[in-house]
Amino acid sequence: MKIKDNFWLGLLVGAASFGLTFLLLYFINWESLGIFAQRAPFLLAFIPGVVLFRMMLVKWKLDKMGRGVLAVTIVGMLLVFFLVK
């Protein structure tokens, strides 16, 4: 089956990967990290997006989808750094 190379689909895949990973990490006790306790689940949830970005661009040759995943990852990280105290 051929996957259509689409920017909007990349945005959706990036947001879904972040959401599912964040949901899994949300239930871990992060209070032992101290100062990083509030940002840790958010920032760790972006790791699958970075891995997907690399796989889409290098391995699967899906440039537009890779750009969509990268856009979600960068905008999300900026929001975490500026909005989460």
Structure confidence by residue, pLDDT tens digits, 23-74: 998 888 777 767 667 788 888 999 999 999 999 999 999 999 999 999 999 9
Q: Domain-by-domain residue ranges, the chain?
A: 7-83
Residue 69 has a CB neighbour count (10 Å cut-off) of: 30
Q: What's this model's pTM, rounded to 2 decimal places?
A: 0.86
- What is the DSSP code (8-state) at residue 39? T
- The answer, yes or no, to whether residue 19 has pLDDT greater than 80, is yes
| Res 33: pLDDT | 67
Stretch 72-79: mean pLDDT = 94
User: d(Cα 81, Cα 77) in Å, to the nearest integer?
Assistant: 6
